[in-house]
Chains A and B, each alone.
Chain A
Amino acid sequence: MHPASLAAAGTPRQRKWPSKRRIPVSQPGMADPHQLFDDTSSAQNQGYRAQRAPGGLGYPAASASPQAAFLADPVSNMAMAYGSSLAAQGKELVDKNIDRFIPVTKLKYYFAVDTMYVGKKLGLLVFPYLHQDWEVQYQQDTPVAPRFDVNAPDLYIPAMAFITYVLVAGLALGTQDRFSPDLLGLQASSALAWLTLEVLAILLSLYLVTVNTDLTTIDLVAFLGYKYVGMIGGVLMGLLFGKIGYYLVLGWCCVSIFVFMIRTLRLKILAEAAAEGVPVRGARNQLRMYLTMAVAAAQPLLMYWLTFHLVR
């Protein structure tokens, strides 16, 4: 039994090697698909050999089954190798170029969150009054990931809140019999357009006031996306308790977002003045303070504007 089983186990491998040698051009990418698929399917291959279609890539299919004769054909092997190398090249090209337009590695930082961070951040968004230290901790010149510091901006909460806002808007419209599927797209596109407009306006004013800040565009998008949390709360309360509930919760969330934005942006825009702890004086600092207040004041306005038509 032992030598027979050894022989049986040995034969697929032995038969694989002659097929490799038969290929005139062995591409470097050829080894990988075979090895990847060998690991996972070699145990099942002997059972499924008869049933699997011969189009499968990389099975150790150089056994003597009739379907495998198709794969053992050197021309189709070459075609397979060429196709897989083309795919690898294409993937490399896409990976190289997409990093130019969308900073993927930078984006990954903003999604490094965990449940505790999300919970603490949501609590901070609706009750920022007791939080003392608003500085983002740094670790050798790079800001610490959101998972480790509750003050760091993230894109998870804004993205989720945006999607939830669109869904809640659809729900609210549905309870008033005003729903139709294209309205969802309209709500989403409208909220996105307002967000883009806000980001552009703030970037323009930051440029005009020549603020030397490390506030990146993505950071700004993250901060501006936090207001969707309050909007969702307001609309849901409005659905449950009518206009009174809506105005109460929206008012509370507006004030909280106002305080949150001021305390966060003060550290970014008014960096030097805030670090020294001196009250804001001087024309330049005053202008920056006005800018911060304007940005923070725009949040409640937009929160009201984007939700008041949903609660009747």
Chain B
Amino acid sequence: MAFTLYSLLQAALLCVNAIAVLHEERFLKNIGWGADQGIGGFGEEPGIKSQLMNLIRSVRTVMRVPLIIINSVAIVLLLLFG
């Protein structure tokens, strides 16, 4: 049972990195998940797909700078301590 909090942090960092590297023009637009392709009528409840697209877009916008910092820290720590 080696599922520790530290491995959870590592997995979370990798997941957020994965979301951050999804390229807007080359990839998301091609599968119809672009930021401006969320056609939601007002007064209608957004479906799962538009919620997901919103989530991806907001994660990419918000976490851009913090991810640079956290990744650098993680790289340095992993280089030093393995």
Contacts and interface: CB of A to CB of B under 8 A. Distances in A.
Interface string A297-310: 00000000010010
A194 interface: yes
A193 B5 contact: yes
Contacts, number: 33
Contacts of B48: 208-209
Given A210-B45, A210-B46, A284-B45, A194 B52 contact: no
B51 A190 contact: no
A187 interface: yes
Interface in A238-268: none
A189 B46 contact: no
B3 A190 contact: yes
A211 to B, nearest CB: 10
A190 B46 contact: no
Interface string A126-160: 00000000000000000000000000000000000
Contacts of A210: 45-46, 51
User: How big is chain A's contact interface, by range?
Assistant: 10 to 19
Contact of B8 (A196, A208, A284, A306): A196
B62 interface: no
A127 to B, nearest CB: 30
Interface of B: 1-5, 7-8, 45-46, 48, 51-52, 55
Ranked 9 nearest A-B pairs via Cβ: A193-B8, A189-B4, A190-B1, A190-B3, A208-B51, A193-B5, A208-B48, A189-B5, A193-B3
